């Protein structure tokens, strides 16, 4: 599949994405690509586990969000 983003989107990373009609989708997780009628679609999932497919020709920008902090383990008393 010919990818238009040169691999800058990482699977399972969280982004805010924008489309050329001015819409902005926040806190979505990039899941990869799928074909719809022979055309590649970008697939995201929302925080509420809803799937979002974006046609790359309407895709305008993506902003990588901060990764969630990993739990820190403390070896000494609080």
> What's the pTM value of the predicted model, to 2 decimals?
0.67
Residue 4 Rama label (left phi>0; alpha psi -120 to 50; beta): alpha
Domain boundaries, the chain: 14-64
58-to-9, 20, 23 alpha-carbon distances in Å: 16, 5, 10
CATH code 2.30.30 for 14-64: yes
pLDDT in tens, 8-61: 788 999 988 888 888 888 889 999 888 888 888 888 998 888 888 888 777 766
59-64: strand order across its sheet: 51-54, 39-45, 24-36, 14-19, 59-64
Query: Do 20 and 58 touch, CB atoms closer than 8 A?
Result: yes
């Amino acid at each position: 599949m010919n990818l238009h983003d040169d691999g800058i989107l990482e699977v399972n990373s969280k982004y805010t994405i924008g489309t050329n009609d001015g819409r902005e989708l926040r806190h979505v997780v990039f899941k990869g690509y799928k074909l719809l009628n022979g055309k590649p679609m970008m697939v995201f999932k929302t925080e509420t586990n809803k799937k979002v497919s974006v046609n790359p020709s309407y895709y305008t920008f993506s902003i990588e969000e901060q990764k969630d902090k990993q739990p820190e383990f403390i070896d000494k008393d609080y």
